[in-house]
Amino acid sequence: MLERCFGVRRVRQIQRAARHGTVTFLCLFMTVVVLRGTIGAGKFGTPEQDFNDIREQFYSHNRRVEPHRVLEEVETTPAQNDNADSNNYATFDISKILKDEEGAADEYRDPNAPYSLGPKITDWDEQRAGWLKQNPNFPNFVGPTKPRVLLVTGSSPKPCENPVGDHYLLKSIKNKIDYCRIHGIEIFYNFALFDAEMAGFWAKLPLIRKLLLSHPEVEFLWWMDSDAMFTDMAFEVPWERYKDHNFVMHGWNEMVYDDKNWIGLNTGSFLLRNCQWSLDLLDAWAPMGPKGKIRDEAGKVLTNALKGRPVFEADDQSAMVYLLATGRERWGQKVYLENHYYLHGYWGILVDRYEEFIENYHPGLGDHRWPLVTHFVGCKPCGKFGDYPVERCLKQMDRAYNFGDNQVLQMYGFTHKSLASRRVKRIRNESSTPLELKDELGLLHPPFKAIKLPS
C-alpha cells in the first residue's frame, strides 16, 4: 500500500529513519535513567518539576541574576584567595618565621666589668704546637711554603633589607668559593652573631678568635667582607713574604704611622696568623667595640686622634689605625702593610677600567693592572640605603663578578658575552680527548694547589 503511494525507495528511507529514531530515543532514555540514578533526581525530585525548574531558569535568565550563584561566589572567593596567598612567596610576610624565641633575650655582661672576648690565654703557641705534634694528619703547612689557610666571611642571620641584596650576597660567596677551590683554601661562611655587643663592624672579632682556637691546624685566617670579590683568580698570595709577620693588611706605613690617617689601611680583607701574638692583638683591639656608650665615646677619641675621620661611632678600621699609630713598638714589627698588590681594591677606581685591563694585561698580576680584590666599600648591597646610587653599585658589582667569573668559565670553554651580561658563549670546541686540552690560565690543576701529603 505504502509502496504504491510513495514508491519502494521512499518507503525504505522512511523505515530506515524510523529505526534510527527508535534507537536514538532508547539511547536518550537510558542516558536519563543513568544520570538520575547517579547524580540525583534534580532539585525537586520529579521530572515535571525538573522541567518546570529548567523552563523557569531560561525564562528568568535575562531578567535577574541568580542569587544562589552570587552567594556561592562570595562565599568561595575569600577561600580561594587565601589559598593563593599562602602559595605566593611575594606576598608572604617573612617576619612570621623570623621571630626570635620568646624570652630568648641577648645576654649582656656586667656594664661595670671591662669587656673581654673570652678567658685570657697566654700559652697558645705551646698548646697549639702540642696539638699539631699529636695530630700529624692535620699539618699547618700543606706545602713547603704554602700554609693552610681558612678564608672567613659572613653576613647577617636575617634576610637583606632590600629585595636584591641576598642575590648579590650569593654571587659574592660563589666568587669566593671559586677562588678558594682553585687555590686550595678552606672556607667558612658565618650567619651567627657570636656576641650581641659586638654587632656591626665588630662582629668579626669574636668569630675570628673562636675559629683560631678551634682550628689549630690553620696557619693563616683570611678575613674578607661580604661586599668584596676576587677579580684575579690566577694570583697566588706570596706567602713566603710574610714568614716573619703575623698580620697582613692593605695599607701604607706613612699614612698609618706618620699621618695617622683613618683610611691608611683597610680591614675589609686581611690575613692573620694563628698564634699568641694574634690573640693578644684581638684582646687589645676589641675594647672599643661594645655597642652603646663605650662605642660612642671611643668614636669621639678616634675622630680627635685620626686625620680626616668624620664623627661617628668607633669602627674596627679606625681602631686598628689608632692601635698601630699609638703602639708601633708593641705591634708594628709583626704587621705588614701590603701595597704591592690589591689585597683590597677600591671599586670606584677599578671597575670602569676592566676592559682596559683585558686589552693590555692578564690575570695573575694582582695589582693595579689586574686587581686581586675589588671591594665595594659604601655600596651596602644588603641594606636599605648606601653611600652611592643603587643602580651604579649593582651594575658595577655585576661587572666585577663577571670579570672574575670569566677566568673560571674559561677553564671549561665558556665566557660571558660581555661584562654586563649573565649569558655565556662558547670559546672553544668540544674534543674527544678532553684531557689533552689546557685552559688558557692553567687554573684547572695549578701547582700552588698541589697538597703535600704527610709522610
Q: How far apart are CA 300 and CA 269, in angstroms?
A: 25
For residue 21, the model assigns a pLDDT of: 73
For residue 315, the model assigns a pLDDT of: 97
Q: Say what the pTM is.
A: 0.79
In the predicted structure, residue 49 carries a pLDDT above the cut 50: yes
For residue 59, the model assigns a pLDDT of: 54
C-alpha cell at 307: 686625620
C-alpha cell at 425: 658563549
Q: How far apart are the first and last CA of the chain?
A: 119
Helix or strand or coil: residue 425? Answer: strand
In the predicted structure, residue 382 carries a pLDDT above the cut 80: yes
CA 125 to chain centre: 35
CA distances from 139 to 31, 40, 150, 184, 298 (A): 85, 82, 13, 14, 40
- Between 125 and 114, the more confident residue is 125
Q: How far apart are CA 314 and CA 302, in angstroms?
A: 7
Q: Confidence band (pLDDT; 50, 70, 90) for 126?
A: very high
Averaged pLDDT, 365-379: 97
- Between 208 and 52, the more confident residue is 208
Scanning the structure block, which residue is given the C-alpha cell 678575613? 223
For residue 36, the model assigns a pLDDT of: 61
Helix (H) or strand (E) holding 30: helix 8-39
Q: Confidence band (pLDDT; 50, 70, 90) for 29?
A: confident
Helix or strand or coil: residue 96? Answer: helix
For residue 450, the model assigns a pLDDT of: 62
Dihedral angle over CA of 60, 65, 68, 71, nearest 10: 180
In the predicted structure, residue 10 carries a pLDDT above the cut 90: no
For residue 70, the model assigns a pLDDT of: 46
For residue 98, the model assigns a pLDDT of: 74
Q: Confidence band (pLDDT; 50, 70, 90) for 290?
A: very high
Q: How far apart are CA 189 and CA 337, in angstroms?
A: 26
Angle at 339 between CA 357 and CA 269, to 5 degrees: 90
In the predicted structure, residue 245 carries a pLDDT above the cut 90: yes
In the predicted structure, residue 427 carries a pLDDT above the cut 80: yes
Q: Confidence band (pLDDT; 50, 70, 90) for 3?
A: low
For residue 71, the model assigns a pLDDT of: 46
Scanning the structure block, which residue is given the C-alpha cell 695573575? 364
CA dihedral for 214, 215, 221, 222, sign (positive or negative): negative
Q: How far apart are CA 271 and CA 269, in angstroms?
A: 7
Give yes or no for a contact between 140 and 132, defined as CB atoms under 8 angstroms apart. Answer: yes
Give yes or no for a contact between 318 and 329, defined as CB atoms under 8 angstroms apart. Answer: no
Averaged pLDDT, 339-365: 97
Give yes or no for a contact between 275 and 246, defined as CB atoms under 8 angstroms apart. Answer: yes
Give yes or no for a contact between 267 and 249, defined as CB atoms under 8 angstroms apart. Answer: yes
Scanning the structure block, which residue is given the C-alpha cell 709577620? 245
For residue 285, the model assigns a pLDDT of: 97
247-251 and 335-338 as β-strands: parallel, antiparallel, unpaired?
parallel
For residue 81, the model assigns a pLDDT of: 58
Single out the residue of 408, 337, 350, 411 nearest to residue 377, CA to CA. Answer: 350
- Between 400 and 16, the more confident residue is 400
177: left (phi over 0), alpha (psi -120 to 50) or beta: alpha
Q: How far apart are CA 244 and CA 255, in angstroms?
A: 22
| Eight-state DSSP code of residue 254 | I
In the predicted structure, residue 163 carries a pLDDT above the cut 80: yes
Q: For residue 187, how many other CB atoms are within 10 A of its CB?
A: 17
Q: Confidence band (pLDDT; 50, 70, 90) for 323?
A: very high
Summarize pLDDT for 66-117 with one digit per residue, the tens: 445 444 444 545 555 566 567 888 788 877 777 766 555 556 666 677 889 9
Single out the residue of 182, 186, 194, 262 nearest to residue 221, CA to CA. Answer: 186
Single out the residue of 211, 273, 269 nearest to residue 247, CA to CA. Answer: 273
Give yes or no for a contact between 128 and 279, defined as CB atoms under 8 angstroms apart. Answer: no
Averaged pLDDT, 113-131: 94
Averaged pLDDT, 131-145: 95
In the predicted structure, residue 375 carries a pLDDT above the cut 80: yes
Task: Determine what percent of the chain is predicted with pLDDT higher than 70.
Answer: 82
Q: How far apart are CA 178 and CA 233, in angstroms?
A: 8
Q: Confidence band (pLDDT; 50, 70, 90) for 4?
A: low
Q: How far apart are CA 320 and CA 285, in angstroms?
A: 7
Averaged pLDDT, 109-138: 91
Single out the residue of 221, 218, 219, 164 nearest to residue 190, CA to CA. Answer: 221
Cross-strand bridge partners of residue 187: 151
Lowest mean pLDDT among 51-55, 255-259, 402-406, 449-453: 51-55
